[in-house]
């Protein structure tokens, strides 16, 4: 009886604790709601349209978890939608209230060459309308400078400069660590160039992977130089990037002076001096702070200019990792995206479908579910046009195969037609600790895959045959889509990644062009005047609760940039830490996620590292330790 009473007391205590926790959370949320007053909507006044890009440019921003914001573990960088920035710049071009466009790139972390080129094109249009475009940053790196090159004036801080890194870098390889731990990595793959699994089975890149990656990096680097040179002919970008040491030495180590000598920047001055210069053009600000100028907030401007979502051309976005199940925006979840498309087909009178793909791939099952939903659109007689963004590789190409026509850009990363599966087992690790396994079986597959005792030959053979079968299906889908033989596709597949220019030459894409070109083509195929065609964005509606908390967090962040990394050492160290943490998290997700994958690891290194959550900010060694556990 005493035991029962003790258990009852414990249950009552747990109940009381939960009630108390709920009350604390309730009153905390109530206090926050009462104390929070959102920024009042301001009328669009005359001044400079300010793009204070403190984060990354993405195809589709990820939905922020409100509980992560509450706990302080939300993302550490903001994501800006590419189409919103383009919309704002196109409106500013003819808006008499906009006297200039100003880009503050001090906290800019990049976004990929396709996105940079598209924003650059919009900036060129603003300049063609005789409106000044001015940029400021303490330090410009590759993506930031690609935007700045399209400006009429480029400013940098006296202690800043331009650091051009080019394409390429190091990747993590875990083979030595895996061997020391006694972990056995079971890999099932098809494709000479399917290098996603190489970090788990090699200590370095294979010659084939290195050759393919070098060719891709060289093509993208040349395209970057061509874009910058066209936008800013006076910049001696090739010489500056080829020998930065000589440029720095000639300027006595003064990087701002070196950039000025190479024609990369126009003015050297601090942020206050830059603001005063903008004020001369756009008008004075409403406060007395140094460097204040009349500015138009980007988000407010976009909201005021955004058209109603009631078009006849459906635009389905497949952005981020392709995963099974459901997820919010910024992740291409198979169930979520397929349900969104099927609902739109059922409820809307769509005349055509554009699929905007910006994904390195992921789960084969999820990708096929998205593809099946796109085929439903074709079955209803809708023309299907694919528009590729920064990356449309592996699973990203899988979902593109139903297209009647594929648009890409020269800087698009695509291909990676190949599949693999990977599974770790720990019999060697357990043996090091004196632990063994034993059991009984009734069939060759009993207890398989056994991650404690290792897989057997029958399981390995079945898995490898399954991967080979999926690869044949992948080849068949591409062959049918591209009107080639399976043998012709296999010759350009094998997991190899291609730049958009080469992909067009070998027939993996049809035309160069952006999302607007794809929408116009879809309209023509649906016998609609492209000038009258309007998109209907097939997306999950943003969560109002999450938006409210994000607005609170944004309000708290306003003006808080004391910890921003601005000098060369701090900024590049921050970027490399983010890349390293992302690489480890990608590897951990691949190993723990399971399933056969159509994925492209090297594709993820072109663009910007994803915003790190609080978990990722605990440090690289902690992430590694968590992966090992």
Q: What is the pLDDT of residues 284-310, one digit of tens each?
A: 988 878 889 999 999 999 999 999 999
Of 20-24, 221-225, 336-340, 470-474, which gets the smallest average pLDDT? 20-24
Percentage of the chain beyond pLDDT 70 is: 79
Distance CA 237, CA 219 (A): 16
Torsion, CA 610, CA 615, CA 621, CA 627, rounded to 10: -90
Q: Higher confidence at residue 194 or residue 427?
A: 427
For residue 536, what pLDDT band results from cuts at 50, 70 and 90?
A: very high
Q: By residue range, what is the domain housing residue 15?
A: 1-32
Q: Is residue 16 part of a domain?
A: yes
Q: Where are the alpha helices (DSSP H) in 455-612?
A: 457-482, 486-492, 500-505, 515-525, 544-557, 568-593
In DSSP terms, 422 is beta-bridged to 187
Distance CA 459, CA 25 (A): 50
Q: Tell me which residue of 328, 405, 367, 401 sits closest to 600, measured CA to CA.
A: 367
In DSSP terms, 622 is beta-bridged to none
Q: What is the pLDDT of residue 56?
A: 92
Which residue in the block uniquely carries the two structure tokens 């056994």? 450
**pLDDT above 90: residue 63:** no
For residue 68, what pLDDT band results from cuts at 50, 70 and 90?
A: low
Q: What is the pLDDT of residue 489?
A: 96
Q: Higher confidence at residue 585 or residue 124?
A: 124
Q: Higher confidence at residue 195 or residue 160?
A: 160
Q: Higher confidence at residue 36 or residue 334?
A: 334
**pLDDT above 60: residue 595:** yes
Q: What is the pLDDT of residue 114?
A: 96
394 carries an active-site annotation: yes
What's the mean pLDDT in 137-141?
Answer: 94
318 CB-near residues (< 8 Å, 6+ apart): 332, 337, 355, 356, 357, 358, 359, 370, 396, 399
**pLDDT above 80: residue 454:** yes
Q: Is residue 490 part of a domain?
A: no
Q: Is residue 26 part of a domain?
A: yes
Phi, psi of 132 (to 5 degrees): -70, 145
Q: What is the pLDDT of residue 168?
A: 84
The DSSP 8-state label assigned to residue 567 in this structure reads: S
Contact indicator for 352, 523 with CB cutoff of 8 Å: yes
- The tokens describing 215, both together, are 């060719």
Q: What is the pLDDT of residue 40?
A: 45
Q: Which of 394, 416, 425, 481 is catalytic?
A: 394
> What pLDDT digit, counting tens, does each position of 188-238 carry?
988 777 666 888 888 898 888 888 889 999 999 999 999 999 999 999 999
Pairing type for strands 361-363 and 597-599 reads antiparallel
**pLDDT above 90: residue 617:** no
For residue 41, what pLDDT band results from cuts at 50, 70 and 90?
A: very low
**pLDDT above 60: residue 4:** no
What's the mean pLDDT in 2-27?
Answer: 64
Which residue in the block uniquely carries the two structure tokens 């910890």? 563
Q: Is residue 21 part of a domain?
A: yes
For residue 101, what pLDDT band results from cuts at 50, 70 and 90?
A: very high
Q: What is the pLDDT of residue 23?
A: 61
Q: Is residue 606 part of a domain?
A: no
**pLDDT above 90: residue 32:** no
Q: What is the pLDDT of residue 540?
A: 83
3-class SS of residue 420: strand
**pLDDT above 50: residue 620:** no
Q: What is the pLDDT of residue 141?
A: 92
3-class SS of residue 125: helix
Q: What is the pLDDT of residue 5?
A: 61
Q: What is the pLDDT of residue 579?
A: 64
**pLDDT above 60: residue 37:** no
Q: Which of 99, 194, 257, 369 is catalytic?
A: 194
For residue 81, what pLDDT band results from cuts at 50, 70 and 90?
A: very high
Q: Is residue 554 part of a domain?
A: no
Q: What is the pLDDT of residue 616?
A: 45
> What pLDDT digit, counting tens, does each position of 304-329 carry?
999 999 999 999 999 999 999 999 89
**pLDDT above 90: residue 174:** no
Task: Please state the pTM of the whole predicted model.
Answer: 0.86
Q: What is the pLDDT of residue 629?
A: 43
Average pLDDT, the chain: 86
- How many domains in the chain? 1
Q: Is residue 315 part of a domain?
A: no
**pLDDT above 80: residue 272:** yes
Residue 123 burial class via C-beta count within 10 angstroms: exposed 0-12, middle 13-18, buried 19 and up: buried
Q: Is residue 17 part of a domain?
A: yes
């Amino acid at each position: 009886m005493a035991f029962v009473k003790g258990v009852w007391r414990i249950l009552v205590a747990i109940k009381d604790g939960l009630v108390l926790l709920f009350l604390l959370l309730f009153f905390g949320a109530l206090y926050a709601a009462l104390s929070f007053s959102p920024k009042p909507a301001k009328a669009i006044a005359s001044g400079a349209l300010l793009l204070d890009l403190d984060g990354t440019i993405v195809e589709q921003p990820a939905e922020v978890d409100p509980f992560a914001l509450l706990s302080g573990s939300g993302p550490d960088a903001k994501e800006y939608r590419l189409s919103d920035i383009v919309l704002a710049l196109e409106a500013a071009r003819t808006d008499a209230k906009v006297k200039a466009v100003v880009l503050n790139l001090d906290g800019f972390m990049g976004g990929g060459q396709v996105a940079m080129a598209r924003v650059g094109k919009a900036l060129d249009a603003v300049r063609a309308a005789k409106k000044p475009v001015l940029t400021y940053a303490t330090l410009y790196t590759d993506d930031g400078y690609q935007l700045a090159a399209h400006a009429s004036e480029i400013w940098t801080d006296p202690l800043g400069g331009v650091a051009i890194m080019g394409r390429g870098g190091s990747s993590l390889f875990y083979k030595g660590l895996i061997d020391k731990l006694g972990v056995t990595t079971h890999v099932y793959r098809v494709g000479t160039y399917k290098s996603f699994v190489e970090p788990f089975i090699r200590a370095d890149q294979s010659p084939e992977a290195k050759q393919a990656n070098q060719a891709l990096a060289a093509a993208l680097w040349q395209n970057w130089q061509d874009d910058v040179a066209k936008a800013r002919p006076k910049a001696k970008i090739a010489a500056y990037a080829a020998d930065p040491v000589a440029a720095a030495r000639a300027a006595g180590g003064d990087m701002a002076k070196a950039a000025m000598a190479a024609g990369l920047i126009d003015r050297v001055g601090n942020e206050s001096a830059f603001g005063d210069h903008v004020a001369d053009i756009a008008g004075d600000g409403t406060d007395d702070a140094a460097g204040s100028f009349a500015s138009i907030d980007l988000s407010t401007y976009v909201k005021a200019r955004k058209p109603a979502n009631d078009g006849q051309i459906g635009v389905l976005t497949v952005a981020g990792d392709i995963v099974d199940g459901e997820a919010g925006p910024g992740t291409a979840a198979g169930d979520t995206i397929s349900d969104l498309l099927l609902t739109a087909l059922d409820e809307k009178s769509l005349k055509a479908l554009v699929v905007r793909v910006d994904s390195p791939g992921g789960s084969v099952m999820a990708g096929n579910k998205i593809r099946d939903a796109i085929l439903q659109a074709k079955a209803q007689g809708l023309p299907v046009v694919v528009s590729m963004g920064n990356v449309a590789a592996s699973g990203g190409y899988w979902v593109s195969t139903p297209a009647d026509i594929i648009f890409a850009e020269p800087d698009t990363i695509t291909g990676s037609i190949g599949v693999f599966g990977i599974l770790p087992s720990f019999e060697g690790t357990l043996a090091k600790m004196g632990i063994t396994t034993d059991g009984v079986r009734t069939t060759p597959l009993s207890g398989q895959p056994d991650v404690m005792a290792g897989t057997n030959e029958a399981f390995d053979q079945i898995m490898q045959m399954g991967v080979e079968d999926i690869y044949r299906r992948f080849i068949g889908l591409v062959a049918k889509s591209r009107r080639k033989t399976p043998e012709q596709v296999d010759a350009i597949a094998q997991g190899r990644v291609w730049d958009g220019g080469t992909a067009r030459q070998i027939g993996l894409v049809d035309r160069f062009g952006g999302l607007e070109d794809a929408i116009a083509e879809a309209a023509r195929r649906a016998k609609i005047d492209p000038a009258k065609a309007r998109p209907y964005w097939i997306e999950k509606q943003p969560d109002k609760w999450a938006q409210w908390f994000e607005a609170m967090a944004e309000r708290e962040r306003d003006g808080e940039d004391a910890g921003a990394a601005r000098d060369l050492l701090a900024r590049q160290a921050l970027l490399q830490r983010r890349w390293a943490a992302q690489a480890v998290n990608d590897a951990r997700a691949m190993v723990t996620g399971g399933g056969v994958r159509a994925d492209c690891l090297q594709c993820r290194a072109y663009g910007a590292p994803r915003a790190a959550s609080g978990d990722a900010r605990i440090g690289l060694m902690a992430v590694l330790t968590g992966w090992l556990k």
